[in-house]
Structure 1
């Protein structure tokens, strides 16, 4: 009986359909909705969280740094207002550096830059046959590791054999960390996210223009296509038409749509809601604050008619609050070696400001 009732219901539906006026037949159901995405995402920066681990793991021979030195090195070139203060500080310090027979200008410059970027800097002491100091050679902080015996240091790369320095012959300058005492950490840790965001915003903007001044589209096809191969050809054509580094695009095929058989719908028009300038300005302010370099000393253009103030007074404040303390830290090498290698002349611009 249940089968009979089911058949009657079916017949009733058919009769109802037949009673409709001509031309008002029931709409055919959509066969299948197809969708796929194309255009691989562009890697903007390393996705590893540099602050994820703040302790030093050891592998049996040396301690690993608490922060990836490779990540810190990439960040230097990721944002203009991060790299510029680092180079500025290095150049000002080198302008005051008094050359010494044991330490060349090139090694001193690299040593200072490593300290500012990584919070760690290394000099290898090379001695003559009599055990007397012969030369201080810079060792790249990106590849230098501290051994389990804290007087032992290693030079570690992915492409060569690990090299063990003679014990006790490497001077290690650290920017103290509050988490551990094996390695130093850079002073700009709190601005790390702003540095990454600034670089990502710039690269997003560049890819936005490369992509045709839009952030991706939805290609929406509703007209039924007799040959399914035509849909596949359209997919391939859309993929091949996109340039390298294009943003995500989405193709949707819904046969039997009501209107506008083929539509191209942009995700958004950034020109109308552009936050690029706001992001750049906010992250720039964070970087200038953490590096503590007066903007007029770095060539930053003022946003107001009043300007940024007297550059000589700014240089004097910078020298007292930032330059001289770093020079004092560098002189720790003199205590370790027993020879006054690091010595500096007064900062000329600060002296001029003081006399005026």
Structure 2
């Protein structure tokens, strides 16, 4: 008769037998959820929406609006540019100073602006009304639609809206902002700040690795650990945890911090480089943006930088607005929209 071999006994008596009985393949749990990198603020081109009956803007306009409110240098420079343009506004078109400021804000943030011709009962134009570019859409026959969101959209004929846009060589339906190439840097700057805030709120660490090699941790206890960890989300996790493994090894469970407060990161470099990128996207002088110089040479004469920026950026934008609005033949009774087109005129107004 053939004898069968009996398996060898586990070494170490009962403790060794228990270790073999409960030993399982290694496992891990991720502390936190993955962070996807979405195509936020990406250029999608102009697409026709047959259901809505208008073209979709090449860039999600809500992204542009939000970015202007969360990116520090980008938002500050946008408002400074609006103020610079408005410093030379002399009136016309039945527009108040606040009306024109709203129109210029639309033009700089979204790349275009729309002015509705408001008519009286006799059909004569008595004023211009600024349309919100955030909700402005255009159709194939050049009609203008204001999206209402769940309510019937407002539609105006092609000749009822004055449309001024910054030119986009890829399409001529909508305008695009002239800072488009700096959006990634602006978002990187915001993400770096948010990461640092979450880092400190979490206790100046990125998380923990809960490392266990104790053979006395049975599957039931391991499952309990999983539930506790997976149910713990938010800032300040794992501040306190009680573990009791009868007869366990004192080195069997370890908590290993990841990236403590002494870990070197690139926060300052990211902030500085992305800030410079935002100024470059707007062609804005650092000396006018509140940048603190990092060298003894400083940032040059701010008055000369301001004059150069006026001549190269502000005055051409004023001319674009004037030509776009005054080209409408039926608003002559409201007076032509005028801006000062020399830096000297603005200096005299400021005095």
> Is TM (by shorter chain) over 0.5?
yes
Look up the match of 2:131: 139
After TM superposition, the structure 1 = structure 2 runs for residues 46-195 of structure 1, keeping only pairs within 5 Å, are 47-59=38-50, 61-100=53-92, 102-150=94-142, 152-195=143-186
1:301 Cα offset (Å): 1.3
Look up the match of 1:251: none
Cα contact 2:148–2:154 (8 A) shared by 1: no
State the Cα deviation string for residues 260-299 of structure 1 (Å, max 9, x = none). Answer: 2221122323642210111111111111111011111122
Cα contact 1:57–1:65 (8 A) shared by 2: no
1:149 Cα offset (Å): 1.1
User: Residues of 2 paired with 1:196 and 1:202: CA distance?
Assistant: 10
Structure 2: which 5+ residue stretches go unaligned?
A: 239-246
Cα contact 1:39–1:245 (8 A) shared by 2: no
1:93 Cα offset (Å): 1.1
| TM-score, normalised via structure 2 length | 0.83
User: Which residue of 332, 337, 345 maps to 1:342?
Assistant: 337
State the Cα deviation string for residues 165-213 of structure 1 (Å, max 9, x = none). Answer: 2441111111111111111111112222111111111111111111111
| TM-score, normalised via structure 1 length | 0.82
User: Residues of 2 paired with 1:309 and 1:226: CA distance?
Assistant: 67
1:111 Cα offset (Å): 0.7
Look up the match of 2:198: 207
Look up the match of 1:321: 312
Query: Using a 3 Å threshold, how does the CA distance of structure 1 residues 280 and 222 change in structure 2: closer, same or farther?
Result: same
Look up the match of 1:312: 303
Cα contact 1:41–1:245 (8 A) shared by 2: no
Q: Give yes or no for the alignment of 1:36 onto 2:29.
A: yes
User: Which residue of 201, 212, 215 maps to 1:221?
Assistant: 212
Cα contact 1:194–1:287 (8 A) shared by 2: yes
Look up the match of 2:282: 291
Look up the match of 2:243: none
Query: Using a 3 Å threshold, how does the CA distance of structure 1 residues 21 and 123 change in structure 2: closer, same or farther?
Result: closer
* Number of equivalent positions: 333
SS in 2 for 1:98: strand
User: Residues of 2 paired with 1:311 and 1:139: CA distance?
Assistant: 35
User: Residues of 1 paired with 2:336 and 2:313: CA distance?
Assistant: 21
Query: Using a 3 Å threshold, how does the CA distance of structure 1 residues 342 and 260 change in structure 2: closer, same or farther?
Result: farther
Cα contact 2:45–2:170 (8 A) shared by 1: yes
Cα contact 2:198–2:235 (8 A) shared by 1: no
State the Cα deviation string for residues 125-144 of structure 1 (Å, max 9, x = none). Answer: 10122322211111111101
Cα contact 1:217–1:267 (8 A) shared by 2: yes
1:73 Cα offset (Å): 1.2
Cα contact 1:225–1:231 (8 A) shared by 2: no
| Range 154-163 or range 115-124, more displaced | 154-163
User: Residues of 1 paired with 2:322 and 2:117: CA distance?
Assistant: 16
Cα contact 1:147–1:153 (8 A) shared by 2: yes
1:319 Cα offset (Å): 0.8
SS in 2 for 1:336: coil
User: Residues of 2 paired with 1:182 and 1:59: CA distance?
Assistant: 16
